Structure 1
Amino acid sequence: MHNDEQHIRELIERWAAAVHAGDLDTVVINHADDIVMFDVPPPQDGVRGIDAYRAVWPPFFAWQAKGACFELVFLHVTAGADVAFAHALIRCGTPQDLAARPDRRLRLTLGLRKEAGRWCVAHEHHSFPLDTGGEAEVPPRCGER
């Protein structure tokens, strides 16, 4: 594995462990000052800047402290000389959530850039698959009609 890819993999694994532990300082340490994050809860137009990013985590940590999990189960990293991206799947939910939908995973996509020789997360996107429950029409994928 390419050295940068391994370094980014370790950075993301430390981030996920810090999220699980509720360690805010470690969660934010490798994020750019101008981070943009699109998350599951609002705001729909995203969270912009490190201060806003830092502010979204305490409510999540409080929810997680009631017994929810945040566990990295799959991670793929692709790195160039100064930009990289990664995508991952995460077990995220309460025991009741996971019992009801044991295969449901939080999807994570990260865009990273190298600043002064150091990798940092510049873009973060979390999402869950659309759960239509048979009630909503799911649009076709690109190229399907």
Structure 2
Amino acid sequence: MDTNAEKSDIERVIRSWERAIQRGDMEGILANHSESVLMFDVPEPLQSEGLDAYRKTWELFFRYGAPDREVFVLEDLRITAGDTVAFATALLRIGGSSEPVCRLTLGLMKRNRAWQIVHEHHSAPHKLNSEVSQ
């Protein structure tokens, strides 16, 4: 296995997805996702399973921000790949933010010689109160 080639293929899949989001291209957003994709997102619902539910999360996203180059930007993309399973992490700038405000983890599987996103997890950090009640 050529790990660098696998990582390059995975990065192409992820960057293509990122550009599709920036263009508001729903078919491009859904491309390279498995039919049974499982997504954990920041807004409700707690989880979305399958392409139809996944599409609805992006319809909601675009209700709050028009497609634009700065609407969804991946920074610090890191990829770990095996023969048929990989994961990637990144920090996200969304809605034109100048700094990352969310985190992203993607799980991928290689099926029929092509990488597919099978799991997607977006999360946002929450500050804790400096005083802990006792």
TM-score under structure 2 length normalisation: 0.86
The answer for unaligned runs of 5 or more in structure 2 is none
**1:36/1:122 contact within 8 Å kept:** yes
Matched residue pairs, number? 129
**2:48/2:54 contact within 8 Å kept:** yes
When residues 65 and 76 of structure 1 are mapped into structure 2, their CA distance, relative to the original with a 3 A threshold, is same
Determine the structure 1 residue equivalent to 2:57.
56
- The equivalences for 1:1-145 within 5 A come to 2-44=4-46, 46-65=47-66, 69-94=71-96, 98=97, 102-132=98-128, 134=129
Q: Report the RMSD for the aligned CA atoms in angstroms.
A: 2.0
3-state SS, counterpart of residue 83 of structure 2: coil
Report the alpha carbon displacement of residue 74 of structure 1 after superposing the two structures with TM.
Answer: 1.6
Mapped to 1, the partners of 2:75 and 2:100 lie a distance apart of 12
When residues 92 and 136 of structure 1 are mapped into structure 2, their CA distance, relative to the original with a 3 A threshold, is farther
TM-score under structure 1 length normalisation: 0.80
Q: Deviations over 1:28-56 (max 9, x none)?
A: 11000110000000112x00011111122
Q: Give, as a single letter, the amino acid of the residue that structure 1 aligns with 2:80.
A: T
3-state SS, counterpart of residue 42 of structure 2: coil
Q: Give, as a single letter, the amino acid of the residue that structure 1 aligns with 2:12.
A: E
